[in-house]
Amino acid sequence: MTTQDHAIAVVAADTQEPPPPRGQLRLFVDAFASNKLAVAGLVVFVLAILVALTADVISPYDPNAQDLAVRLMGPSAEHWLGTDQYGRDLLSRVIHGTQISLMVGIVSITIATLCGVTAGALSGYLGGFVDDIIMRCMDVLLAFPALILAIGILAVLGPSILNVVIVIAVVSTPQIARITRSAVLTQKEEEYVQAAIVIGLPMHVRLFKHVLLNCLAPITVQATLLVANAIIVETSLSFLGLGVRPPTPTWGTILFEGKDYILLGMWWMSVFPGIAIILAMLGLNLLGDGLRDALDPRIRGADA
């Protein structure tokens, strides 16, 4: 039979295929590793996390220690990134800022993803009445600009890091829910889901194993981009005095403390936290794109 001959020829060309469970992970890692931009994004992201975790060890100074003798100094051998208006070491402040900014971004989007995926999956898969109720609630949240909604909620809850996390989770949930719902809607009409019904697979297994597995790519990309967005929202809230209170350093507070001095030529107070934000955004976006490509077996196949 010709098909069998063909099949054997195909197999012979590539007989060293690893067994399925490990194979799946291997394929994913290989595909991700072959994408240089994605690896660069991952490196930036991992570095940022390392900096955040070891902030107390690697900071040359206490981030809140004031030394008025050296206030508003440019970059030098003692203070690599210069000092601010109270003579605090900018490098130490940016390093400690990484801790808070990343923590707020990651924790809030993790919460948002859990809530959003659950809501979106139920909404898309069950449809009808459940869909109407869940999505109308999400529409209400989406109707307000994220920042305005965040300001409103924080005005009620009061400013604190925990409340910032809650607020960002609340304003990000509808975005994840929408992405998940639309992905679920397209996937659930596919014949492989019907095939799962025909073999008698229970609904929750169908939803998680078959439908959500195929929605991973858009959700991952959206979540990664939302972490970047969460950092920006945190920055804005801190500037408005509704987020993290001074003197606790975050990239946002440092950046905005520096804004009064930028026209006086003291660029370092704004530029360095700005660079930190840009690097984090770039890293997260590259990482998101890389994950999307590596998670998709079709694109994965085309790359190899």
Partner 1 sequence: MEKLLEVAGLKKYFPIRKGSLFSRETKYVRAVDDVSFDIHKGEVLGLVGESGSGKTTTGRLLVRLLKATEGDIVFEGKDTQAMTDAQFRPLRRDMQFIFQDPYSSLNPRLTVAHAIAEPIRLHGVATGKEVEERVGDLMNTVGLNPRMASRYPHEFSGGQRQRIGIARALALNPKLIIADEPVSALDVSIQAQVLNLLHRLRDEFGLSYLFIAHDLNVVQHLCERIAVMYLGKLVEVADRESLYAEPLHPYTQALTSAIPVPNPRAKRDRVLLKGEIPSPVNPPSGCHFHPRCQFATEQCRQVVPTLKKVNATRSVACHLY
The answer to whether residue 16 forms part of the interface with partner 1 (CB under 8 A) is: no
* Shortest distance in whole angstroms from residue 9 CB to partner 1: 10
The residue type found at 146 is: A
Q: Strand pairing partners for 89?
A: 83
The answer to whether residue 260 forms part of the interface with partner 1 (CB under 8 A) is: no
Identify which of 229, 267, 236, 235 has the alpha carbon closest to the alpha carbon of residue 251. 235
Pick left, alpha or beta for residue 72 (phi over 0 → left; psi -120 to 50 → alpha; otherwise beta): left
How many residues does the structure list for the chain? Answer: 304
Chain residues 130-149 in contact with partner 1, contact rule CB under 8 A: 132
* Shortest distance in whole angstroms from residue 133 CB to partner 1: 12
Q: Is 46 helix (H, G, I), strand (E, B) or coil?
A: helix
Which stretches within 144-267 are classed as H helix?
146-157, 161-188, 191-198, 203-205, 216-239, 251-258
Q: Which stretch binds partner 1 (CB under 8 A): 47-55, 147-155, 196-204, 277-285?
A: 196-204
Query: For partner 1, which residue of 11, 33, 58, 162 counts as binding (CB under 8 A)?
Result: 11
Q: With respect to partner 1, which residue has the nearer C-beta, 11 or 65?
A: 11
Query: For partner 1, which residue of 56, 139, 190, 260 counts as binding (CB under 8 A)?
Result: 190
The answer to whether residue 15 forms part of the interface with partner 1 (CB under 8 A) is: yes
Q: Quote the tokens at residue 209.
A: 């194993």
* Shortest distance in whole angstroms from residue 143 CB to partner 1: 19
* Shortest distance in whole angstroms from residue 283 CB to partner 1: 27
Chain residues 214-253 in contact with partner 1, contact rule CB under 8 A: 214
Q: With respect to partner 1, which residue has the nearer C-beta, 2 or 57?
A: 2
Contact assessment for residue 101 and residue 281, using Cβ atoms and an 8 Å cutoff? no
Who's near 281: CB < 8 A, 6+ residues apart? 228, 231, 232
The answer to whether residue 201 forms part of the interface with partner 1 (CB under 8 A) is: yes
Distance from first CA to last CA of the chain, Å, rounded?
29
The answer to whether residue 263 forms part of the interface with partner 1 (CB under 8 A) is: no
The answer to whether residue 304 forms part of the interface with partner 1 (CB under 8 A) is: no
The answer to whether residue 77 forms part of the interface with partner 1 (CB under 8 A) is: no
The answer to whether residue 19 forms part of the interface with partner 1 (CB under 8 A) is: yes
The answer to whether residue 3 forms part of the interface with partner 1 (CB under 8 A) is: yes
Q: Quote the tokens at residue 21.
A: 């469970």
Residue whose entry in the numeric block shows the structure tokens 């972490």:
227
Q: Strand pairing partners for 214?
A: none
Query: For partner 1, which residue of 46, 195, 275, 278 counts as binding (CB under 8 A)?
Result: 195
10 Å CB burial of residue 267 (0-12, 13-18, 19+) is middle
Interface with partner 1 (CB under 8 A), residue total 32
Kindly list the residues in this chain that would bind partner 1 in the complex (CB under 8 A): 1, 3-4, 7-8, 10-11, 15, 17-20, 23-24, 132, 190-192, 194-201, 210, 213-214, 297-298, 301
